[in-house]
Structure 1
Amino acid sequence: MQRRLLLVSNSTLAGGGYLDHCQENISCFFGRDVKRVLFVPYALHDRDAYTKAARHKFRTLGYEVDSIHETSDPIGAVRKAEGIFIGGGNTFRLLKSLYDNQVVMEIRRRVLEDGVPYMGSSAGTNVATISINTTNDMPIVYPPSFAAIGLVPFNINPHYLDPDPNSQHMGETREQRITQYHEEPDTPSVLGLREGSMLLVEGDKATLLGITKARVFTRGKPSVEYEPGSDLSFLLTGAH
């Protein structure tokens, strides 16, 4: 089986509603073979309200949603899932809950071995990578590890933001923070996904989708910009 991932930078784009900007991508990604999607709302505190929003949106696209927080057997829910969607929120809270409920390795197995389609947005995209070391979020809780599900061999920075030339803000830019990450040894490449962009992974092929460019940061090399439609499969092999 080959992995199938849709890794979205953000769930809401300015001027639109929840998942509006990527709804056509969602329909193409899950297709008609998937009838029910397992939603993981662990990144937000109010899981009921979050599930209600996801359930409503996915029903408009023709899918029913089962939320993992509504079952007493999270591992069993992952084992039965036709498709998986992990939403955004706080990445530390999300990863801690995934570990607490012992589903990290089961999600990995279902996606990489069984070919179950996996969609993530924001924090859900972060946890699909090697680690959450390049998240923008505050560590409001302490997961047992920063190691994530590991569906791809690189990291992602969702909501990647370019410096505002008119801003008086003197703190580090997003690029500077990623550069600091790469000052540590043996750190993987980082894909900076601007809002409005997403990465589609099908087996060993990765394609940038959406309406905005993305930037790839590799340790010891200049960053490189990529247009929507670009083939980013090199990120999956480490051949930069």
Structure 2
Amino acid sequence: MNLLLLSNSTAPGRRYLDHALDEIRDVLGAARELLFVPYAGADHDRYTAQVAAALKPLGVGVTGVHTAADPARAVREADAVFTGGGNSFRLLKALHAHGLVTAVRERVAAGAPYLGSSAGTNMACPTLRTTNDMPIVQPPSFESFGLLPFQINPHYQDAPADRTHMGETRAERLTEFLQENDVPVVALREGTWLRRDGDRLALGGTEAGGVLFRRGAEPRELSTGHDLSALLTEPVRFDHR
């Protein structure tokens, strides 16, 4: 599989996707047409236009899957697929409604590059259970694409030393997840991404790095460039409901 999974789509002080354009160019390779999945947002046309403008310098054409008469067929015929960020619950509900969970999984397994940012990165996991989003709608299942056998938490934030907010930290939330699910979680700080090329998986992006959470173990800091290929052999230990 050929995957690029971004924690975030916009870096501070930079334009949409600008911080990752070189990596996007690399993952797309010879593909010059990209099918965009805008369902995590409310205005699908505007969202698609934003992506098209960002990728124009790469010579890549962008079509929104929402404009297709048969979205599943459009996915099956796509050169590459990009699922954008927004609300993960709204996104997953639409993916199930249009029959795209299986369609994307099969198209990517057949060799099409897959790009995700934020919610789109969550979709590469077996389920959306490690999203940060509010469940504004209810999908019929938590099952997502399952392009990886482990979970990701995009937009990971460390708790400030002088915090006054008394709610759970992101690390505490992920610890709660691991109390119920024995599945690794890779937490991606802003500006970072995961890149999968076949059987190789590595952490890329800024020096912010990430954190690996496992049940019964202390969180492990991950530096940019860290080889995470061993995670690709992890068994999936929970259902998708």
CA drift of 1:203 comes to 1.4
1:207 aligns with 2:202: yes
CA drift of 1:167 comes to 2.1
1:196 aligns with 2:211: no
Counterpart of 1:111 in structure 2 is 108
CA drift of 1:134 comes to 0.6
Q: Choose from 26, 50, 54 the match for 1:53.
A: 50
Query: Using the alignment, how far apart are the partners of 1:163 and 1:62 within structure 2?
Result: 40
CA drift of 1:187 comes to 2.9
Q: Choose from 7, 10, 30 the match for 1:12.
A: 10
Query: Using the alignment, how far apart are the partners of 1:168 and 1:16 within structure 2?
Result: 30
Q: Choose from 151, 168, 182 the match for 2:147.
A: 151
1:187 aligns with 2:182: yes
Q: Secondary structure at the match of 1:191?
A: strand
TM-score (norm 1): 0.96
1:64-213 pair list within 5 angstroms: 64-112=61-109, 114-184=110-180, 186-211=181-206, 212-213=208-209
Output the amino acid matched with 1:220. G
CA drift of 1:72 comes to 1.1
Q: Secondary structure at the match of 2:179?
A: coil
Is there any run of 5+ residues in structure 1 with no aligned partner, and where? none
Query: Using the alignment, how far apart are the partners of 1:187 and 1:16 within structure 2?
Result: 37
CA drift of 1:221 comes to 1.1
1:23 aligns with 2:21: yes
Q: Residue by residue, what CA displacement relative to the aligned partner does 1:140-181 show, whole Å, maximum 9, x if unpaired? A: 000011111100000000000000112211110000000001
Output the amino acid matched with 1:66. T
Q: Secondary structure at the match of 2:153?
A: strand
Percent of aligned pairs sharing the same letter = 48
Runs of 4+ deviating beyond 3 Å: none
Query: Using the alignment, how far apart are the partners of 2:7 and 2:125 within structure 1?
Result: 13
Output the amino acid matched with 2:31. V
Size of the alignment, in residue pairs?
234
Output the amino acid matched with 1:151. L
Query: Using the alignment, how far apart are the partners of 2:209 and 2:53 within structure 1?
Result: 30
Query: Using the alignment, how far apart are the partners of 1:238 and 1:106 within structure 2?
Result: 23
CA drift of 1:59 comes to 1.1
Q: Secondary structure at the match of 1:200?
A: strand
Q: Secondary structure at the match of 2:5?
A: strand
Q: Secondary structure at the match of 1:182?
A: helix
CA drift of 1:215 comes to 0.4
Counterpart of 1:218 in structure 2 is 214
Q: Secondary structure at the match of 2:90?
A: helix
1:235 aligns with 2:231: yes
Is there any run of 5+ residues in structure 2 with no aligned partner, and where? 236-241
Output the amino acid matched with 2:153. N
Q: Secondary structure at the match of 1:168?
A: coil
Query: Using the alignment, how far apart are the partners of 1:54 and 1:203 within structure 2?
Result: 26
